[in-house]
Structure 1
Amino acid sequence: MRRSTSRTITGRSLPALAVLAAGVLLAGCSAAGTAGSSSSDGSGSAAVKVGLVYSRSGPLAAYGKQYLEGFNAGLAYATHNTGKVGGHRIEVTEQDDAGDPAKAVAAAKTLIGKGTKILAGTTDSGVALQLAPLAAQNRVLYVSGPAATDALTAVNTFTFRSGRQSYQDILTAGSLLGDSHGKKVTVLTQNSAFGQANVAAVKQVLGGQGAKVDAVLAPPSAADLTPFAQQVKSRKADLVFVAWAGASAPALWTALDQQGVVGSTKVVTGLAGTASYPLFGAAGAKVSFLAHYFPGAAGTPVEKAMLDGITKAGGTPDLFSPDGFTAALMIVHAVEAGSAQDTSLMVKALEGWSFQGPKGDEQIRAVDHALLQPMFTAKLIGTGSAAKPVLLMRLPMGAVTPPSKQMAG
């Protein structure tokens, strides 16, 4: 893939990018990456400085890699392989936050101090919630990535998102239940902040639709998960929503299969990246999956362009490829329809924008900057390394639209 963008990589060698990347455009950086008072493309036009702050390393490094590869493909697509928009060359500097909010904030402050007007990336929700107020304080455009926390929607006028949010996940899960009114839903998760947040989300969304929601909570350190699978089976729920994190996932799915849970009721969980498919073992074929994305799910020309762009560059399309691709589309549109330097005009250009994204018809809701988008449901066929998802249903953005929120500021 031909690329004219100028990149500065902070604190890592180029091979480390193959592990994961976070890009940040340093305002005032020349193509060689040296600081200066201004930057131009050689024709006197100021360069567009974009900063990608994301997890190149740390626990979410695999997701960061997917985001970066999608962003690169999206930038090439949106600029027709010129690396320019509105006559301005796009400069990208990548910064690794390692999933640490303090590192992310420090990197963003440095970039903003050097003139960066656009920040993007953010694999981790905790990081996103720290960068959003910083963007508002400094009046820079901030386009978050895979961070799914609902709290990011309407957090301030300068913050947008290029991925989905948790509410859309739960609505997608609910589509597998049908009419929720009077149905019994059991959430199986860990007794942790992560688990409690999932219980609260299911109660808010499906409980709000009339479902009766309860939970089975396992200690995060639990090694024997059979008792918890037995508890779930005894609840005789119409739907079991599983939200699980950590190395015990294979043991959990084995227990659910052995106790007959996946064969006796509808069990739903989120479809993660391709590396997770073998973890479900024999239970995988009996589970229903809500899916933000998997390669081939959308079947649109823009998705094909994304897949082709990533593979031609030597990458591998995966779960969060659309988040990076869409971020690039948003940034190019903000500069082209707004301004390369006036953040308020970039914000106005994005608010209410409807576009063809890699997942299909998408829209940035003007009132709170929620990214309305299609979602998918799927099943797995095959086991082990042969496991792969098959599409069950494409849900248009109108079917999985979160309630609107009042902008915080």
Structure 2
Amino acid sequence: MTTSLTGSFGTYGNMIKDGLEAGLYCSTEGTNEVDGKPIEFVYADDGGDPEQTLAAATRMVGDGINILTGTTSSAAAMQLGHFAEQQNLLYISGAAGIDDVTGLNANTFRASRQAYQEAAALSSVLEKNNNKTVVLAQDYAFGQKYASTITGILESSGSEVEKVLVPLDTNEFTPYARRISELKPDLLIVVYYGDGAPSMWQAMSQQGILDTTTVASVLVEKPHWSIYGDAAEKINFVTHYYPGAPGGEMNECLTERVPNADLSTHDGFVAAQQIVHALSTAGPDDVEGMIEALDGWSFEAPKGPMTIRSGDHALLQDMYLVSLSDNDGELVAHTVGNVGSEAAKP
């Protein structure tokens, strides 16, 4: 497993690690073995640097490892996807949401949602068509592409969409909040991550936008819910998993092993499920057989049914619609609906 255990992505990498170990335990009925052979995870910390990711993966291949997983950054995920094809490895991307991992090559799979599925869920928050929507996103490659994906989905249903792109180094959000207020949208979709998020949400609250407009955003990990400030209970959230999410037997096993399981914990768990299935079906030395075993496989993840679409390996799944509420000073998430896998499929 090559991931970020330190640095800016360290929180996510450690969640994946916890989920991976829980997923192995739960998928093997506590034996951590497949066909009587123990499964051992080898970890390398890339610190969020794609070059270090590739260097670690190269060392692992030299040691005879032919299954890679765990990446958190989109840049690293793309690098390892190409590397897996070149070296004929099985690669299961971790938390990276970049759409381009889907369909990259036959060797590459994913354990999480992708940006299109979030975009489809965000676009469904306001049920009526022909509304006016503003998309607030960061002005860099991922933010621009994400905003364009949402725009395409909404415009196809007759909605009018305007994008407001904010430079990455912005620390004063009042002008952007005023601009959005002037546009008077029916729906505001916020795709914003990073250190400026608390100030951004504060500016939206100060301009009264959350009192006059339906606002939707992607729910971040629970340790970061404080970024929403006073806006928390007024936002319509979407996510693929959250602490306290409903689920079946696998979710019970996950939360018993990792009581604070969160977004990326689920991603690690799903990666382990895929690894166990591939090994039990084809064996550790048959990469082509492991790929064939996963291609088109449907299984029960902690969150519920998932299917690896045959051909491009999109991970089809439902998306949650979620609200936050204050419970004695602590924010708690509640499911208020869902977007089915068919409606959210890329």
Query: Is residue 215 of structure 2 the alignment partner of residue 271 of structure 1?
Result: no
Q: 1:396 aligns with which of 337, 340, 345?
A: 340
Q: Which residue of 1 aligns with 2:302?
A: 358
Q: Please report how far the alpha carbon of residue 280 of structure 1 lies from its aligned counterpart in structure 2 after TM superposition.
A: 1.0
In 1, Cα distance between equivalents of 2:143 and 2:114: 16
Greater CA drift, 250-259 or 357-366? 250-259
The SS at the match of 2:165 is: strand
Percent of paired sites with the same residue: 37
- Tell me which of 278, 282, 290 is aligned to 1:334: 278
Judge conservation of contact 1:302–1:357 (CA < 8 Å) in 2: yes
Q: Which has the higher contact order (CA 8 A, sep 6+)?
A: 2
SS state of the match for residue 82, structure 1? Answer: coil
Q: Which residue of 2 aligns with 1:202?
A: 150
Out of 121, 126, 129, the residue aligned to residue 78 of structure 2 is 129
TM-score (norm 1): 0.82
Q: Secondary structure at the match of 1:322?
A: helix
Q: Which residue of structure 1 lines up, in the alignment, with residue 125 of structure 2?
A: 176
Q: Which residue of 1 aligns with 2:5?
A: 56
Q: Which residue is equivalent to 2:88? A: 139
Distance 1:385 1:124, change over 3 A: farther
Shift of the alpha carbon at 1:346? 0.2
Structure 1 segment 5-404 matched on structure 2, within 5 A: 52-180=1-129, 182-311=130-259, 316-382=260-326, 386-402=330-346
Distance in 1 separating the partners of 2:164 and 2:328: 28
Instruction: Look up the equivalent residue of 2:273 and give its one-letter code.
Output: L
| 1:282/1:383 contact within 8 Å kept | no
Name the CA distance, whole Å, in 2 between partners of 1:300 and 1:235: 44
- C-alpha contact (below 8 Å) 2:26/2:250 kept by paired residues: no
Cα offsets for 1:57-98 (capped at 9, x unmatched): 111111111111111110001111112102222121101111
For residues 285-322 of structure 1, the C-alpha deviation after alignment (integer angstroms, 9 at most, x for no partner) is 111101121022233221111111113xxxx3112111
Could you give the per-residue CA deviations for residues 365-408 of structure 1, whole angstroms, max 9, x where no partner exists?
01210011121011111289612211111333223111xxxxxx
Identify, as 1 or 2, the structure richer in helix. 2
Whole-angstrom distance in 1 between the partners of 2:281 and 2:112:
21
The one-letter code of the counterpart of 1:94 is Y
**Superposed displacement of residue 323, structure 1:** 0.4
In structure 2, how many angstroms separate the alpha carbons of the residues matched to 1:334 and 1:272?
A: 30
Unmatched 5+ residue regions in structure 1? 1-51, 403-409
Please give the secondary structure, in 1, of the residue aligned with 2:40: strand
> Would the alpha carbon gap of residues 271 and 140 (structure 1) be closer, same or farther in structure 2, given more than 3 Å must change?
same
**Aligned 8 A contact 2:32 2:38 in 1:** yes
Computing the radius of gyration from Cα coordinates, the structure with the larger value is 1
Instruction: Report the Cα distance in structure 2 between the residues aligned to 1:384 and 1:230, rounded to whole angstroms.
Output: 33
Q: Which runs of 5+ in 2 are unaligned?
A: none
Q: Which moved more, 1:168-177 or 1:158-167?
A: 168-177
The residue identity in structure 1 corresponding to 2:117 is Q
SS of corresponding position for 1:116: coil
Q: Is the 8 A contact 1:377 1:393 kept in 2?
A: yes
> What letter corresponds to residue 53 of structure 2 in structure 1?
A
Report the residue type matching 1:321 in the other structure.
T
CA distance in 2, matches of 1:322, 1:219: 31
Is 1:271–1:292's contact at 8 Å kept on the other side of the alignment?
A: no
* Residue 164 of structure 1: how far off its partner (Å): 0.5
3-state secondary structure, aligned to 2:324: strand
Whether contact under 8 Å (2:106, 2:311) holds in the other structure is: no
Give the Cα separation in 2 of the matches to 1:394 and 1:189. Answer: 23
Residues 196, 383 of structure 1: alpha-carbon distance in 2 compared, 3 angstrom cutoff: farther
In the aligned structure 2, how far is the partner of 1:209 from the partner of 1:297? Answer: 30
* Amino acid corresponding to residue 78 of structure 2 in structure 1: L
> Normalising by the residue count of structure 2, what TM-score does the alignment of the two structures yield?
0.96
CA-atom RMSD, angstroms?
Answer: 1.5
2:233–2:323 Cα contact (<8 Å) kept: yes
Letter in 2 for 1:163: S
